[in-house]
Amino acid sequence: MNIVVCVKQVPDTASERTLGADGTLDRASADGLINELDEYAIEEGLRIAEAHGGEVTILTMGPQKASESIRKALSMGADKAVHLLDDGLAGSDALATSYALSKVLAQTGFDLVICGSESTDARTGVLAAMLAERLGVAQLTLAGKVDIDGTAVTVRRMSDEGYAVVSAGLPAVVSVVEKINEPRYPSFKGIMAAKKKPVQTLSLADAGIDAGEVGLAGSATAVADFAARPPRAAGVIVKDEGDGGAKVAGFLAERKFI
Amino acid sequence: MAEVLVLAEQAGGEVKKVTLELLTAAARLGEPAVVWTGPDADKAQQRLAEYGAARVYVADGAEFGDYVVAPKAELLARLVADKAPSAVLTASTAEGKEIAARLAVKTDSGVLTDAVDVTAGEDGAPVAEHANFGGAITTRARVTRGTPVIAVRPNAVTAAPAAQPGAAELVPVSFTASEAAKAAKVTERVTAEKGERPDLTEAQIVVSGGRGTGSADGFKIIEDLADALGAAVGASRAVTDAGWYPHAFQVGQTGKTVSPQLYVAVGISGAIQHRAGMQTSKTIVAVNKDAEAPIFEIADYGVVGDLFTVVPQLLDEIGKRSG
């Protein structure tokens, strides 16, 4: 089975994140790492390949720096990677990104595309649905469990109300939620092996992507302006002197919550 | 005035609060028209009229429940082609975002998700406000191509009955989903035990517990406080990782984003990943024994103390006041 896992490098959520003058994320100044939710996608891809046979390809779109994340994904056990790397992609919104990735996927071919449910930077949570729409294949998103039986895929689609069991035939686009599995740590052997694994770098032209449809100019949304949120006015902090609970109650009553 | 389509979320004819919020936002942009999928539109008609809906497009078909997301996106795409609305609004829920996503691809339009506010710009086109990186930065964004598709976060816009109620005329739409939209079939639905508490993302008050609760047993005090306040229960990642409370209730970077009127953080230190999920709450109250905990930097009211003495006293006080 040909499994492609989409992986995004994002700024560390524990670091200070800022926007550049053009309203896009300043990716250069923050430490980058694999989008945490994509680690579950990589793990799920590896488990499916181990159980059913097949090859796991990592697909990443991002600047040169994103090769760090590709390397980590390969050291976890993925077989190879495709890095869509072109300055013309900078500032692409979700619609443009899904277009670019769909062009690469059409080239690599796939039985199963697996994504994390969202990225921790933009948090749009729309990419997998957009890919399914563009590729014309089944959308099996927000999976908390994935089962493959021959050419049928069944997932538990998780929601606030519980879950739905959803089935489709391959090929399909799957997105997985946090905690679907326990992502493995790269072993020393895995790290060494990753250095020899093939990483194909594609430019816009290589992938047949129309440069006018991607990047800041090709995106269908634009940030008009942005501002740091005004800091919250300093609150009242008191030490519990045996009356802490009563004091909170007093505050809540003053604000009409009780 | 051009129409603004609002995709309704409902259960058994009961309109979800977020749909009324969307109608309030839609009225700022044009003439609000509801898109209703499934039965029972007549039950909701009066309520939708009250919140300004001029019309309700009703597509009553089983395919909306039998197949994931795609049929609803297909219906909206057809209405966009037929009615040329000035914008389409959906709820920024997991499903609402995915419907918006597919609609954007189908109509080659820009999509903005997780908006915390929507207003009309000087040219009348929608401007969506977002709270990024957990509310550290506020951005305002526009759609520059196609029909703007905007998913609005529940609980962010205050729903208000329209000054002039709409007609909420029921307009049947005959619609059959294409084969392509039927690729992912729902074979079973399993509903989790829900209890009486409000939905986490829609609740006016959220009480969240963190590592300080110490155990699954210790976490029960969070449920008690939530029930006393009529609140939803939330949890920090430390709690859900430890298995003291289900993952679905995690508030933070990789969990739910909430912006209630009141957020009570109990035994939560307030790491940046947690703040990312609750920083836009209107009022924040914190109880933590560590005076240096970052949660106190954003709290409107904080008590430095042991939650197991502060919270029981608070519960007593609430009991006394309520009667």
pLDDT at B40 over 80: yes
Note whether A252 contacts B: Cβ–Cβ < 8 A: yes
Nearest to A225 among B73, B140, B276 (CB): B140
Average pLDDT, chain B: 95
Q: What is the tens place of the pLDDT at every residue in A225-240?
A: 998 877 788 899 999 9
Which of the two residues, A62 and A13, has the higher pLDDT score? A62
Contact predicate B97/A122, CB 8 Å: no
Residues paired with residue A112 on neighbouring β-strands, in sequence order: A3, A172
The secondary structure element, H or E, covering residue B17 is helix B17-27
**Angle (CA) B41 B46 B51, round 5°:** 105
Is residue A30 very low, low, confident or very high in pLDDT (cuts 50, 70, 90)? low
The pLDDT, as a whole number, for residue B292 is 96
**Contact of B19 with B91, CB cutoff 8 Å:** yes
Locate the DSSP E strands across chain B.
Answer: 3-7, 10-11, 14-15, 31-37, 55-59, 87-91, 111-115, 117-120, 126-132, 137-143, 149-152, 169-172, 185-191, 205-209, 232-235, 262-266, 283-288, 301-304
User: What tens digit of pLDDT does each residue of B52-109 get?
Assistant: 999 999 999 899 999 999 999 999 999 999 999 999 999 999 999 999 999 999 999 9
**Cβ within 8 Å of B, A 52-91:** none
Indicate the range of A166-170, B191-195, B247-251 predicted with least confidence. Answer: B191-195
**Can you tell me the distance from the alpha carbon of A178 to that of A185, in angstroms, rounded to the nearest whole number?**
16
Q: What is the pLDDT of residues A133-164, one digit of tens each?
A: 999 999 999 999 999 999 999 999 998 888 99
| Partner A contacted by B284 (CB < 8 A) | yes
CB contact under 8 A, A225 and B139: yes
Q: Does A165 sit within 8 Å of B187, measured CB to CB?
A: yes
3-state secondary structure of A34: strand
Q: Which pLDDT does position B323 carry in this prediction?
A: 64
- ipTM field: 0.92
Indicate the average pLDDT of chain A. 94
Query: Does the pLDDT value for residue B190 go beyond 70?
Result: yes
Whether residue B229 contacts residue B260, with contact meaning beta carbons closer than 8 Å, is answered with: no
- Residues B28-47 have a mean pLDDT of 97
Quick check: A239 contacting B, CB < 8 Å? yes
Chain B partners within 8 Å of A240 (Cβ): 303-306, 309-310
Residue A6 has pLDDT above 70, yes or no: yes
Subunit contact A221:B322, Cβ cutoff 8 A: no
CA-to-CA distance for B92 and A246, rounded, in angstroms? 38
At residue A110, does pLDDT exceed 80? yes
> Which residues have C-beta within 8 Å of that of residue A66, sequence separation ≥ 6?
A8, A9, A32, A60, A83, A85
- What is the band of B192 on the pLDDT scale with cuts at 50, 70, 90? confident
Which pLDDT does position B113 carry in this prediction? 95
DSSP-assigned letters across all residues of A67-104: HHHHHHHHHHT--EEEEE--GGGTT--HHHHHHHHHHH
Question: Is residue B113 less than 8 Å (CB to CB) from chain A?
Answer: yes
Contacts of residue B307, Cβ cutoff 8 Å, sequence gap at least 6? B212, B213, B221, B266, B267, B287, B288, B289
Considering only CB atoms, B192 lies closest to which of A37, A161, A244, namely A161
Please report the residues numbered 165 through 184 in chain A whose beta carbons come closer than 8 angstroms to any beta carbon of chain B. 165-169, 172, 178-179
B199-225 tens-digit pLDDT: 898 899 999 999 999 999 999 999 999
What is the per-residue pLDDT across A166-216, written as a single tens digit (0 to 9) for each? 999 999 999 999 889 999 999 999 999 999 999 999 999 999 999 999 999
For B63, the 3-state DSSP assignment is helix
Contact state of A224 with B142 under an 8 Å Cβ cutoff: yes
Percent of chain B with pLDDT over 70: 99
Q: How far is A14 from chain B (nearest CA, A)?
A: 6
Whether residue A29 is predicted with pLDDT greater than 70 in this model: the reply is no
pLDDT of B102-129, one tens digit each?
A: 999 999 999 999 999 999 999 999 999 9
Distance of CA B286 to the CA centre of its chain: 23
Two tokens at B245? 């409370």
Q: How far is CA B149 from CA B5, B51, B159, B316, in A?
A: 10, 21, 20, 48
Q: Which residue has the higher pLDDT, B30 or A160?
A: B30
- pLDDT above 90 coverage of chain B, percent: 87
Element (H, E) at A60: strand A55-61
Predicted TM-score (pTM) of the model is 0.91
How confident is the model at residue B133, as a pLDDT?
74
